Amino acid sequence: MKSPELLYTPVRFLKGIGPKRAEVLAGHGIATVRDLLYYYPYGYLDLGRVETIGALRSHDYGDRAGALRSTLGTVRTVELLGRPPRQRLVIVLEDGTGFLQLIFFEGINFLKRAFAAGDLLAASGRVTRFRNQIQIVHPMIDRLSSGGEDGSGPEGFLHTGGIIPKYGSTKELRGVQLHVRGLRKIMREVVTQFLPHVPEILPAPVLASRGLAGISAALESIHFPQSYEALDVARRRLKYEELYMMQLLLAMRRNSVKSGPPGIAFRIGSRLARSLVDSLPFTLTAGQVSVINEITRDMREPRPMNRLLQGDVGSGKTVVALTAALIAVDNGCQAVFMAPTEILAEQHHRTISGYCAPLGVSVRLLTGGTKGKEREAIVRWIGSGEPGIYVGTHALIQEGVRFGRMGLAVIDEQHRFGVSQRLALRQGSAAAGEPQTDLLVMTATPIPRTLSMTLYGDLDVSVIRELPPERKKIVTSLRFEKERPAVYSFLRGQLSEGRQVYIVYPLVDESEKIDLKAATASFGRLRKEVFPEISTGLVHGKMPAGERDAVMAAFKEGAIRILVATTVIEVGIDIPNATVMLVEHAERFGLSQLHQLRGRVGRGSSQSYAILMAPDWMRARISQSASLLPDEGEPDDTLIAVRRLQIMRDTNDGFKIAENDLKLRGPGEFFGTKQSGLPRLRIADLLTDQELLDLARADAVSTVERDPHLRLSGHRHLREVVGREMKELVPLTESG
Ligand code: ADP
Ligand code: MG
């Protein structure tokens, strides 16, 4: 007897998973049996295809790396060679037929501790010959057993043979012994025990017409494939399921806007908007004008606006949105402007107040930092429906904040928000039966055309294609540690011409404390030793809001000339006199982050510069390689970092950068839930699975047309999953 509810058994009730492991798993988004079953292997080790080290030696590699190869061997030595920054970790592997060196330039300290002589490892990667040795740089490795273990051998591994799944593990998972091997063991249990209870969520006619495998067979084969053919069949089914679910959400979202209450039909001949445009110190670009036209056309319609404005960093999206906001105010409504960070919200508040003061329009700010009486007063104005512009952060969609008369909601840098927040902002106004708010979301992350339909399938899209005319192209250069003195003297030159400088340090969650310390220490050094004669300020996310504002304001006024910052300044900040963006450890930033950071300069008419600092050891790899991506296989992390820097050096075009970003990261990561408000794709690939996507889209649309609220009995399990897993992402109206 099938019991689908068993799939929602919390993992802590499984054999071998106690509260501690359960907690770590939960941190990785795995709370239930179902989550585990949908945690697919990232790859497979085909024991049939493993070669001996002796066989690896016998291939002719020339001086180029060949195809991906796999081998098994026992660790003989783990050694650090060379000195920083050229330091590397060398693990020597032996299997009785020869020796193979595994070389690591990154993660050295962790790996040194993680491996010891006697460990049995499976390694795969591209083999190269160096002098008389064969080696793999940054191989993928799997520990099959530890040297310390009592010779009982790699449990459940060699004995099973065939195609072995490899599950992604992390430092935290390994910390509770959930390394690749541990995960494999648990997965085996779960598959055996629960597979019979997995309900089929795809409607029967869809399965039949698309010739897809049933869910149980597919899940079994994705985890423990009997053959490559079985694996292909399983992948096709599971990819389809993901794409279908994604398209189903989009179809339901579109449907709910269409069938919801109507929007406001604004009068668009706005005196305020007119006065704004007349008062601007510049002429709007043709792109800005045409987008303003598209927006006003939407606003005039009784149907609620649902528009995405895409425009590269610096293209001038803010004034466009402000024009729309003033139309709403002229119609006696409230306009809301939501930004992802306090710094950005404060900046918008300053800029917009500057434009609006002469027009007599009130502009108010509500962020997490707004406290006490001030907050009370603003929340009261918001509730009373008092017309004006309300700028803020997530604080605008908190419990207890309800707009009396919201006419327009603008979301800046929308890729930083989730769709749930988009829905929440819109719903923060309309009581039942009131008109729906017009929505304008803005982003500087351009989306390759083939994908925007999918990603923003529920939005109309406007694009600003050009930058304001007097902008000069930002000059981007890659510099290495050795060249630091020259970099500093370049900064000095710019500073002596009256310009200002950003110096940005990475702040990656995992090692936040260390990074923060590094940024603070460097700040001290810069101020005391390198630029003692120049006023320098520091901002980071952990600092009290008041202090941070003061520093930002001083930088804006020019009282501070060098701003040392963590990535809190990544988005939106607009200070035209700053002409140099120096990014420390640029290799640690993602492409879109680097592009955003670079967009902080080049906002005025002076020539601007982005300088990307990378460690010395990267120099050789960067000058070596010119092509964008290797033809096959997964590029390793180092190579990806190298490519990112090359791309940044070679292009300023945000569109090209996004395309490359997508290639490097893969759509799964590029379209994280946060950016897209769509379920994360674990297995489907929007770039290569276009055909399957089209089928899934057509099927999802027809499902929603026939059964908008998934009430038919054939959609019972589908509805269950949508309701449980995606309720924040889709308006599944209970009342409907
Ligand atoms: P983004 O699209 O990145 O949000 P902003 O709206 O912050 O860009 O605008 C960047 C800078 O360009 C601001 O200083 C803004 O005043 C200025 N700007 C906007 N439109 C124009 C224009 N048409 N001509 C010249 N400068 C402009
Ligand atoms: Mg902006």
Q: Count CB neighbours of 278 within 10 A.
A: 7
What confidence tens digit (pLDDT) does each residue in 716-729 have? 999 998 888 766 66
What confidence tens digit (pLDDT) does each residue in 597-643 have? 998 998 888 899 999 999 888 877 765 444 333 333 344 667 778 88
Residue 604, φ and ψ in degrees, nearest 5: -120, -160
Question: Which residue has a Cα nearest atom 26 of ligand 1?
Answer: 468
The rounded Å distance from CA 570 to ligand 1 centre is 16
Is residue 574 within 8 A of residue 347, CB to CB? The reply is yes
Max mean pLDDT among 415-429, 438-452, 548-562, 662-676 falls in 548-562
Q: How confident is the model at residue 159 (pLDDT cuts 50, 70, 90)?
A: very low
Q: What is the mean pLDDT of residues 683-704?
A: 86
For ligand 1, pick from 338, 603, 605, 652 the residue to mutate: most ligand atoms within 8 Å of CB.
603
Question: Which residue has a Cα nearest atom 20 of ligand 1?
Answer: 316
What whole-number distance in Å separates Cα of residue 730 and Cα of residue 678? 9
Closest by CA position to 569, among listed 474, 500, 640, 491: 500
Helical axes 637-650 vs 654-665, angle rounded to 10°: 170
Answer yes or no: is the C-beta of 285 below 6 A from any ligand 1 atom: yes
Cα angle, residue 70 at apex, residues 68 and 72 outer, rounded to 5°? 160
For ligand 1, pick from 280, 319, 410, 608 the residue to mutate: most ligand atoms within 8 Å of CB.
319
Q: How confident is the model at residue 374 (pLDDT cuts 50, 70, 90)?
A: very high
Q: What is the mean pLDDT of residues 399-420?
A: 83
Query: Would you state the pLDDT for residue 734?
Result: 39
Of 15-19, 322-326, 504-508, 648-652, which range is least confident?
504-508
pTM of the model: 0.64
Q: Where do runs of H (alpha helix) occur along 558-710?
A: 591-598, 618-624, 637-650, 654-665, 667-670, 673-676, 690-706
- Dihedral sign, Cα of residue 614, residue 618, residue 622, residue 625: negative
Query: Would you state the pLDDT for residue 729?
Result: 61
Residue 735, φ and ψ in degrees, nearest 5: -75, -25
Give CA separation, 369 vs 30, 206, 342, in Å. 34, 51, 8
Answer yes or no: is the C-beta of 350 below 6 A from any ligand 1 atom: no
What confidence tens digit (pLDDT) does each residue in 290-328 have? 999 999 999 999 888 989 898 888 889 999 999 999 999
Of 4-8, 264-268, 375-379, 671-675, which range is least confident?
671-675
Q: How confident is the model at residue 105 (pLDDT cuts 50, 70, 90)?
A: confident
- Dihedral sign, Cα of residue 481, residue 487, residue 488, residue 491: negative
Q: Which helix (H) or strand (E) element contains residue 374?
A: helix 372-384
Q: How confident is the model at residue 158 (pLDDT cuts 50, 70, 90)?
A: very low
Is residue 39 within 8 A of residue 166, CB to CB? The reply is no
What confidence tens digit (pLDDT) does each residue in 235-254 have? 999 999 999 998 898 888 77
Answer yes or no: is the C-beta of 169 below 6 A from any ligand 1 atom: no
Answer yes or no: is the C-beta of 556 below 6 A from any ligand 1 atom: no
